[in-house]
Amino acid sequence: MLKPEILDPQGQAVQRALPRLGFEGISDVRQGKRFELEVDGPVDDAALARIRELAESFLANTVIENFDVKVEDLPGAPGDAPAATVTAGEAK
């Protein structure tokens, strides 16, 4: 997600449209990106460290974005292969 101090025109446009569409009570909307990475083999600390490096150097623009890496089970995958989810900049 964009850092809190960075203007998010897309999120603002969504927020301003909501009352018109009948949805009240949403005080802020921020829009961002999300990546789902399917990992060969175990998602251990070493794999997570590499994915964090990958997210920082390649998926996120760390000048304007925060990011977070989470591990989730992937229900659709054979043998419930684990997947790392990178939200390119979840608010921290």
Residues contributing to the site for a second copy (CB under 8 A): 1, 4, 11, 14, 17-18, 21, 23, 25-41, 47, 50-51, 54, 57-59, 74-76, 81, 87, 90-92
For the CB of residue 30, give the shortest distance to a second copy in the complex, in Å.
4
Distance CA 40, CA 37 (A): 10
Place of tokens 């175990």: 42
CB of 71 to a second copy, least distance (A): 14
Report whether 90 contacts 2 (CB < 8 A).
no
Q: What are phi and psi of 38, to 5 degrees?
A: -95, 130
Minimum CB distance to a second copy, residue 38 (Å):
4
